[in-house]
Amino acid sequence: MKKKRPVSERKLLGIAGLGWLFDAMDVGILSFIIAALHAEWNLTPEQMSWIGSVNSIGMAVGAFVFGLLADRVGRKYVFMITLLFFSVGSGLSAMTTTLTAFLILRFFVGMGLGGELPVASTLVSETVAPERRGRIVVLLESFWAFGWLAAALISYFIIPTYGWQIALLITALPAFYALYLRIALPDSPKYEKLDQQRKPTVLENVKSVWSRRYVRSTVMLWVVWFCVVFSYYGMFLWLPSVMVMKGFSMIKSFEYVLVMTLAQLPGYFSAAWLIEKAGRKMVLILYLLGTAASAYFFGTAESLALLLTAGMFLSFFNLGAWGALYAYTPEQYPTAIRGTGSGMAAAFGRIGGILGPLLVGYLVGQGTALSMIFLIFCIAVLVAVAAIFFLGAETKQKELA
């Protein structure tokens, strides 16, 4: 039988990162589409918040289901299935004319997105050497910034002139190319070495995640994922709309969010450089503390200069923390339950992604000050810092079990 050639780290990073980029384009462009649909469909703040929350409901279901499936059928096949969910759902959602149909399709888009991210980081973690693993996973996450940047550019140049439907189609079609590239991608070498005849059942894997050996890591991850996702989707899905609420036009808001998005790139690259030097815990704590401070100043900012500065630091620290979290999560579990453990943590976190946008919508509807709303997110991030500090263990350059 012909032996499979191992894939190079660069090729793996490129193929996995391309799908990550298209996923980020979709999430990023959704924040701009919410602002456009508000004007076109006369949506209330509560209805606007449900668009982001339904996306997160799908992500929670996808992370849980596809995480379990990744430990049963392999990382590669689940990787491909999730991108198909995302591509088809995103393309079809461009053709909707009602909020109900749009919400249903956003659920399926969310399933694909929620399933892909933890499975992709698991696949990359299991393929890369321990001394480079953290850096490569953070660089994988950095494709998210390029996706958001592309979303901001598409939104700025396409939505005001050609409409949000064209913008959605632009994000959906190229994703099929990433799907084509993945066909030649080999599965995780660690997964392929597992005894396929003695593979644990789904229920056994779930029990193992909560066994005495892993319960401390699981509790820590679930708290961190919930708080980080809650604050990220609450803040970033509403970012263009918040700029409109602060008195800027839709086009100006898109322009300013584009400037803030650029700060994500140095956030990722600095985290990628630090993570193998300072360790996962230190990078996560440092970047989450920066996120909390930036969120506070963004919420209280009254001048344009302070608003842009706080927004750029918010992007810098928050996305750097995301990169470290995706590197840290798969390292908590052995290969047999790595997909399950990572997927369950991400799924629980997506509950925060459901509540965050909803909370903003209802608080804005009640006239709550933006400073108070962002203070809530600031506190949530500090809770995540406490969980990492007291419950987290350093996994820098450790061989995966």
Residue 206: Cβ within 10 Å count = 16
Q: Say if residue 199's pLDDT is above 80.
A: no
Higher pLDDT, 120 or 338: 338
Output the six-digit token pair for 84: 């198909």
CA distance linking residue 123 with residue 380, whole number of Å: 29
Classify domain 10-182+204-391 at the CATH class level. Answer: mainly alpha
Q: Is residue 74 within 8 Å of residue 119, measured between CB atoms?
A: no
74 torsion bin: left (phi>0), alpha (psi -120 to 50), beta (else): left
Q: Say if residue 55's pLDDT is above 80.
A: yes
What's the rounded mean pLDDT across residues 174-198?
Answer: 73
Residue the block writes with tokens 């700029």: 243
**Domains in the chain: boundaries:** 10-182+204-391
Read off the pTM: 0.83
What's the rounded mean pLDDT across residues 30-44?
Answer: 84
Instruction: Output the CA–CA distances (angstroms, integers) from residue 335 to 38, 91, 317, 331, in the order listed.
Output: 45, 35, 30, 9
Banded pLDDT at 153 (limits 50, 70, 90): confident
**Which amino acid is located at 237 in the chain?**
L
Phi, psi of 89 (to 5 degrees): -65, -40
CA distance linking residue 83 with residue 150, whole number of Å: 18
Q: What is the 3-state secondary structure (H, E, C) of 302-325?
A: CCHHHHHHHHHHHHHHHHHHHHHH
